[in-house]
Structure 1
Amino acid sequence: MFRSPIYTTINMFAYLADQPDDAKTIILDEFPFSDFRDVPLLRFTNLRCLSANACGVKSVLGLPPLPNLTYLQLNDNQLGYNPDSPHFEVLATATPNLKRLTLANNGISSDDILKPLKDLPALHTVDLGYNSVNRTHHRQLYDAVPQVMHWDGDGGETDCDSDAEMSENFMYFESGSEKEEEADDASMADSDSTWLLSDDDVDHISDSASEPGMDASDHQDEDGDDVIMLD
């Protein structure tokens, strides 16, 4: 069914309105907008992963300060076709800790528009798949943005969904399993009724029970059940 740009823009605003202020991942894929000036992202200062694939983006103008953002996806847009340039210099201020940037299939044919990326010291991976600049300007790319180690998307990227899932699993492992183990250890240490017997302890008790002059009844309660006595 055909959906007008107005309809999908309203959907984007509704989607963003539903996101919590501390959201770590925002996915705007296929919502139409040409730059970020009309995208209300200002309150998402904890954002780590932002995906805006296939949105018709021509420029990153208007991207607000996102100091925790480490992964930005801009695949299948029009950043290389904008005669005024995509304004990547905005990223140095808006996303100073950016590590991964995907720009696949954006019609990028010149390394000149990528030079502002040199001001992102943490950036190590840029995916330029399906751009002509990726096939013909490798040396120029490394010279223009020397801190980037991977230009072909071979730096172990994931999409925003799987990236967030891995982070949640890691956090669960750190804050869930280990804390549960600590709680179990603490409860055992605080309990007066819990004893951990080693094999040597068991052997010692068995040897004591068989010493001459010691009657087996000394180790039984009123019901005749065996009782282990510890000194």
Structure 2
Amino acid sequence: MFRSPIYTTINMFAYLADQPDDAKTIILDEFPFSDFLDVPLLRFTNLRCLSANFCGVKSVLGLPPLPHLTQLQLNDNQLGYNPDTPNFELLATATPNLKRLTLANNGITSHDILKPLKDLPALYAVDLGYNSVNRTHYRQLIDAVPQVMHWDEDGGETDCDSDEEMEGSDKGDGDEEDDDASMADSDRTWLLSDDDDVDVIPDSASESDMDEDDDDAIRDSASESDMDASSHQDEDADDVIMLN
């Protein structure tokens, strides 16, 4: 995708005009606009990812219905500085299936501004890197938006992934548990491997036990022989006495 290094509203309109109606990804990074009222996105009903980083966005006002949108990137904007609110309550109707929202470096100082996000049932990850709201407000964030499972703080940009990849990341926790179980099993298997000394020791110990058993058998046999010899000697002695 080629764009002029001069990011203007006219160039943004030209970029959007070149995109097909069934586009799944739209990247508006660095194009200047404060809200979505004048951004012609209405025809992109199949959009999965919308990126508007470093655009000077103060509000999501005017965002059209995007029923398939799963990722919305709004890093390096001014959503936390808006004296009125960033209108996050509009996302519940505009993007009802939103899964990931990135809000890094937006001057967000309170968890209260995020409370409208609780009406997005599919939302599981929010990036709040480089905002005043951080891990020290973790309990308040959970109370404000309880369905969110990941509060990222790295502030990094997230690539627009497909729905399949997003769903794959949803399943990651279970896979990690399986991996942990596999690692535990592999550890147990390692302890029982042929190359491990733990196996060699019982083998040699068994051989020693077998040797000891053999020695015991020999000693038992020798003892029996000695007893037999003693019996014979006693019998011979009796015979001699009887002859006298």
Q: Matches of 1:165 and 1:137 in 2, distance apart?
A: 30
Q: Which moved further from structure 2: 133-142 or 20-29?
A: 133-142
Q: Matches of 1:153 and 1:49 in 2, distance apart?
A: 20
Q: Percent identity?
A: 86
- The aligned residue for residue 91 of structure 1 is 91
Aligned residue for 1:101, secondary structure, equals strand
Aligned residue for 2:32, secondary structure, equals coil
Aligned residue for 1:126, secondary structure, equals strand
Structure number, greater radius of gyration: 2
- The aligned residue for residue 52 of structure 2 is 52
Q: Matches of 1:80 and 1:152 in 2, distance apart?
A: 17
Shift of 1:137: 1.0
- The aligned residue for residue 41 of structure 1 is 41
- The aligned residue for residue 138 of structure 1 is 138
Contact 1:125/1:153, CA 8 A, preserved across alignment: no
Q: Which has the higher helix share?
A: 2
- Residues 84-163 of structure 1: pairs in structure 2 closer than 5 A: 84-152=84-152, 158-160=158-160, 163=161
Contact 1:59/1:87, CA 8 A, preserved across alignment: yes
Contact 1:51/1:74, CA 8 A, preserved across alignment: yes
Aligned residues between the structures: 162
Q: Matches of 2:137 and 2:105 in 1, distance apart?
A: 16
Q: Matches of 1:128 and 1:30 in 2, distance apart?
A: 19
Read off the aligned partner of 1:27 and give its amino acid letter.
I
C-alpha RMSD over aligned residues: 2.4
Aligned residue for 1:79, secondary structure, equals coil
- The aligned residue for residue 218 of structure 2 is none
Q: Structure 2-normalised TM-score?
A: 0.62
CA displacement 1:169-214 (0-9 Å, x = unmatched)? x9xxxxxxxxxxxxxxxxxxxxxxxxxxxxxxxxxxxxxxxxxxxx
The 3 A distance-change label for structure 1 pair 165 and 125 is closer
Shift of 1:11: 0.2
Shift of 1:159: 1.3
Q: Matches of 1:143 and 1:81 in 2, distance apart?
A: 23
Q: Which runs of 4+ in 1 moved over 3 A?
A: 164-167
- The aligned residue for residue 12 of structure 1 is 12
Q: Matches of 1:27 and 1:124 in 2, distance apart?
A: 22
- Residues 147-226 of structure 1: pairs in structure 2 closer than 5 A: 147-152=147-152, 158-160=158-160, 163=161
Shift of 1:158: 3.3
Read off the aligned partner of 1:110 and give its amino acid letter.
S
Q: Matches of 1:146 and 1:130 in 2, distance apart?
A: 21
Shift of 1:2: 9.3
CA displacement 1:43-98 (0-9 Å, x = unmatched)? 00000000000000000000000000000000000000000010100000000000
